[in-house]
Structure 1
Amino acid sequence: MAAQASIRFTRAVDYRIEELADAARTTVRNVRSYQERGLLPPPRREGRVAWYSEEHLARLRVIGMLLERGYSLGNIQEMIETWESGGDLRELLGFEVAVTSPFTDEIPATVGLPELNELFGTLDPIAIARAVELSLLKVDGGRFLVPSMRLLRVGAELHKLGIPLSALLDELAELRADVDRIARRFVRLVLVHVFDRASDTVPSPREAQRLADVVRRLRPLAGVVVDDALALALERHIRDGLGERLDRLLAQRSRAKSRESRPSGRR
């Protein structure tokens, strides 16, 4: 209990400019440049301190995403101006938040080595390095940032059932590759049949709001599809796997009884 009490969760807060730049994986210079060009709304000020919100972070992520796609700052500025002049800015911000927000509502936690050892037993450096490589853990000074405590606790439960930690980490790597393929196909389905049917021009605020609603609905819909498909597959494979092993055990028992009942050749 004492170890669990030292786990600290990190909630979203307002950002100073340095924190905002770090969260958006850009530079303070870029943030100021985007503000000067009108790409970024002005911050909220308290005295001499400027505070930025999640909407600013979403806007920066959209700008970064568009730059990576080959758009110039001029193109991006024109796109934003078109959205802003066509309707309510809240619709644009809603679209930005929808397409850049994480699909998980889990709050990252910070843990120390004692908490990890309590969950998994004494961890060796190789296991920790492998967990960091898989982004299950992130080094945070003398502690570790855990993006998903749910995933970590599931791993701990499976480890307690007797599955070696090395096997669990290898399976996690395979699982992520499988899930990535599923996610890519699902997103492509929506892009081809929903987004590509929209106008080829910059979407209007109303169209942006509709697309934002599609993005928001994508997560729960995809979750239902994957959960149900996984449940059916688990049911089938558990039945087949246990049935195969029971057949093998019964066959071994039958052979053993046959040997026991066989009369001895010599008296």
Structure 2
Amino acid sequence: MASRPDSEQAGEYRINDLARESGIPVRNIRLYQERRILPPPMRRGRVGWYSEAHLARLRLIARLLDRGYSLAHIGELISAWERGRDLADVLGLEAALTSPWSEEPQTVISAGDLQRMFGKQEERGSLDRAIASGMLRPDGTRFRVASPQLLDIAVQLVQAGYPLSVVMKVAEDSMHDIERVAERYVSLVKATITPSLSPGEIGDAAIGPTDDHAEIDDPAAAAALVQRLRPLARKSVDAMLAMAMENAVNQVLGDAVSALAKEGRTSSEPEH
């Protein structure tokens, strides 16, 4: 085994060695330094030396990237940590924000399964639309179902006689509408976890917590508040949908009755 150069101490790495140990390309390490989420190396002469702390930081960055963070968000997390906050609290807030909102079990199906569910109506165009909307996610040669419950509803609607293309259009439009509702609740969460934002930046729908004992600048307290908001958001959407459906059905029935009454009056008028 080759001996270490005299200038290299245990737990110190040149950038190429650091890349090999961490599994992160040199170009990414340099990018992280530019973004200031990785401290610069210690300089001895013309050589930059990285420590075990650098290696640990790179592994943390890799884990956060795998969990869906952007480099900007990672920078914010690391800055919070370096200001003295507990990283466990910061990641606890992340878990409260990003853990699944649905308790539906994960389901994976094949193209053959879809063919059996929808028969001849299952065409490539429908599959592409389902993937584009996020209802299906490719998983090798199979597909992961985002919501088995929604898939079952689609099957039942098709069995009731509605064309799959119509069912897909209703689902896509409904998803677009519900995303606007979700954005309003996200604004509420945003107000909870970013107290420095002004009301104008957050939006009219945002309302921050008023409990003086819930320090919204504390990640642990913010995580607890977000956990309280999660079931309330779902219940409110269910309640508002029920009210909206009732109003819409009554409107349709009212229009139908009016049309029938008008038709009845017209047919009863004497001919001249």
TM class by shorter chain equals 0.5 to 0.7
Point out which structure has higher relative CO (alpha carbons under 8 A, 6+ apart). 1
2:24 counterpart residue number = 29
How many equivalent residue pairs? Answer: 208
Contact 1:107-1:147 within 8 A present in 2 as well: no
Among 70, 82, 85, the residue aligned to 1:83 = 85
1:228 aligns with 2:239: yes
Determine what percentage of the aligned residue pairs are the same residue. 27
Please give the per-residue CA displacement for 1:76-104, whole angstroms capped at 9, x wherever unaligned. 434224223xxxx6544422321332322
Q: Any idea what SS the aligned residue of 2:69 has?
A: helix
Q: Pick closer, same or farther for the CA change 1:169–1:243 going to 2, 3 Å.
A: same
Q: Pick closer, same or farther for the CA change 1:218–1:109 going to 2, 3 Å.
A: same
Contact 1:110-1:145 within 8 A present in 2 as well: yes
1:68 maps to a residue whose letter is A
2:16 counterpart residue number = none
- Higher Rg: 2
1:159-198 → structure 2 map (5 Å cutoff): 159-192=158-191, 194-197=192-195
1:103 aligns with 2:97: no
Query: For structure 2, which runs of at least 5 residues remain unmatched after alignment?
Result: 1-21, 33-37, 39-52, 198-214
**Cα RMSD between the aligned structures?**
3.8
Q: Any idea what SS the aligned residue of 1:83 has?
A: coil
1:68 counterpart residue number = 72
Please give the per-residue CA displacement for 1:227-251, whole angstroms capped at 9, x wherever unaligned. 1111111011111112322443455
2:168 maps to a residue whose letter is L
Q: Using the alignment, how far apart are the partners of 1:99 and 1:135 within structure 2?
A: 19
Q: Using the alignment, how far apart are the partners of 2:23 and 2:169 within structure 1?
A: 39
Contact 2:137-2:145 within 8 A present in 1 as well: yes
Please give the per-residue CA displacement for 1:62-86, whole angstroms capped at 9, x wherever unaligned. 7824x235x6x5x6434224223xx
TM-score after normalising by structure 1: 0.63
